[in-house]
Amino acid sequence: MISPEELTHNRILVDTDVFSFVFKKDDRAHFFNPYMINRTLALSFMSVAELYYGAYKAGWGVNSITRLENAIKLYVILPYDYLVCQKWASVRRQREVKGLSMSHSDIWVAACASRHDCPLLTNNSVHFKDIDDLVVISPTFI
């Protein structure tokens, strides 16, 4: 695993779970915090959708949604584009060939990270195992 000091990328993609840990001040964020210092933090457009879905599903009120929106504004949002779509197809095929499944939302996150050359901070390393050109940083890396 790469240490925070060895990481040479300025921009880092934060997976939905890690954003949630930081947002909720969950102790699991402690592992990721050193990787986030003095870097441009990014979220995939898919993570933003997942965060809103989680809030709506939980029945959050206006104040909680506003707090979420303000937290999201601290991140660069990586949008989909033609190259992200190509990466999505490539990642999905790589997983199929290896006999591994992956949710479409995780494929979008991986595609954004790969297309924008961003290491991915995630607590769900098994979801992103064996993807070409993807640097995964996780305490649970298998």
pLDDT at position 25 is 96
Tens-of-pLDDT digits for all 142 residues of the chain? Answer: 788 888 888 999 999 999 999 999 999 999 999 999 999 999 999 999 999 999 999 999 999 999 999 999 999 999 999 999 999 999 999 999 999 889 999 999 999 999 999 999 999 988 898 898 899 999 976 4
With contact defined as beta carbons under 8 Å apart, do 6 and 37 qualify? Answer: no
Both structure tokens of 69: 């929106």
Global pTM value: 0.93
pLDDT at position 5 is 84
pLDDT at position 141 is 61
Q: Which domains does the chain have, with CATH numbers?
A: 11-137 (3.40.50.1010)
Q: Which residue has the tokens 């199929």?
A: 96
Q: Is 15 helix (H, G, I), strand (E, B) or coil?
A: coil
Residue 52: which H helix or E strand, with range?
Answer: helix 45-57
User: Could you tell me where the DSSP H helices lie in 5-142?
Assistant: 16-23, 33-36, 45-57, 62-72, 82-97, 104-115
* Exposure on the CB side of residue 121, measured as CA atoms within 13 A: 30
With contact defined as beta carbons under 8 Å apart, do 4 and 38 qualify? Answer: no
pLDDT at position 9 is 85
